Amino acid sequence: MTTLAGKVAVVTGAGRGIGAAIAKALAAAGATVACASRSVAEVEATAQRVRDAGGRAIARRCDVGDASDVAALYEAVAAQEGGFDLLFANAGVSLDQRPVGASDPAAFEETFRVNLFGVYHCARLAIPHMRARGGGRMVVTGSGMGHSSLHGHAAYSASKAGVWMLVRILADELRADGITVNELVPGPVRTAMTGVPQREGSVVNNPIEWLKQPEDVVPLAMFLATHPGPGPTGQSFSLMRRTF
């Protein structure tokens, strides 16, 4: 596949899990991929795997909750590649899985800093770069917990609900610029962050739900990256069956 030849993509949370899988797939389709993560070792490992497979990759440390980090990431990509066309805002955390009354305010705030403000910084600062390229695609990793409530996950659910609203607002604001903005809801994925309990490939407390590996999310991510213009925008694409 060379459907993304000549394109440049930025993927946050690319050190492992879904982000790493998406970064490798984008590169395999011909894109130059800027891999970003708070872990230098992990993101450099992802970039090296891309290069070993014959792709082009940039590795950068970036805390998406810090606007100056995001700006520095984009400036580095623009200096080396002239700009970028695709943004996969994938970085996220789940730090406090307790009811609101028993929650840790610091962990609650940190969850919002990364999950919601991280998407805000990534999207806001990407706009001028994508406008300069004549358009682009933003894909944000959302969650089913951002659409329906789940006991004990207040911080994560509320932050992802904010992300879903931000996606729709951005889509309306950027439609005229040829920039699409969509949400990708992976559903349960076996990653270091989620630690989803499993039994024979399904989720223990919901056996009809499809428990995925990170690579199982790639086909939907690639659909959103390669769909002919103008393409869908302001929509949520889900691999999840469960309604909380």
Integer angstrom CA distances of residue 20 from 33, 68, 119, 171, 229: 11, 23, 18, 25, 26
- C-alpha 225/C-alpha 172 separation (Å) is 19
- C-alpha 205/C-alpha 242 separation (Å) is 11
- Find residue 141's DSSP bridge partners: 184
- C-alpha 83/C-alpha 70 separation (Å) is 14
> What pLDDT was estimated at residue 191?
65
Query: Is residue 207, in this structure, part of any structural domain at all?
Result: yes
Question: Which residue segment(s) compose the domain that 34 sits in?
Answer: 8-238
Query: Is residue 3, in this structure, part of any structural domain at all?
Result: no
Q: Name the residue among 168, 93, 83, 94 with its Cα closest to residue 130.
A: 83
The answer to whether residues 211 and 226 touch, using CB atoms and an 8 Å cutoff, is no
Integer angstrom CA distances of residue 92 from 80, 81, 163, 204: 26, 26, 11, 23
Q: Work out how many domains the chain is built from and give that number.
A: 1
The edge-to-edge listing of strands for the beta sheet with 86-89 is 56-61, 32-37, 8-12, 86-89, 136-141, 179-185, 236-238
Query: Is residue 244, in this structure, part of any structural domain at all?
Result: no
Task: Look up residue 237 and give its amino acid.
Answer: F
- C-alpha 202/C-alpha 241 separation (Å) is 12
- C-alpha 65/C-alpha 241 separation (Å) is 30
Query: Is residue 54, in this structure, part of any structural domain at all?
Result: yes
Integer angstrom CA distances of residue 66 from 4, 59, 124, 175: 29, 17, 13, 26
Query: Is residue 1, in this structure, part of any structural domain at all?
Result: no
**Residue 222 C-alpha from the chain's centroid:** 13
CA angle at residue 112 from 110 to 117, to 5 degrees?
Answer: 110
**Residue 201 C-alpha from the chain's centroid:** 24
Q: pTM above 0.85?
A: yes
Query: Is residue 126, in this structure, part of any structural domain at all?
Result: yes
Low-confidence ranges of the chain (pLDDT < 50): 194, 196-202, 204
Residue 126 structure tokens: 């990407």
Catalytic residues: 156
Q: Look up the CATH number of the domain holding residue 139.
A: 3.40.50.720
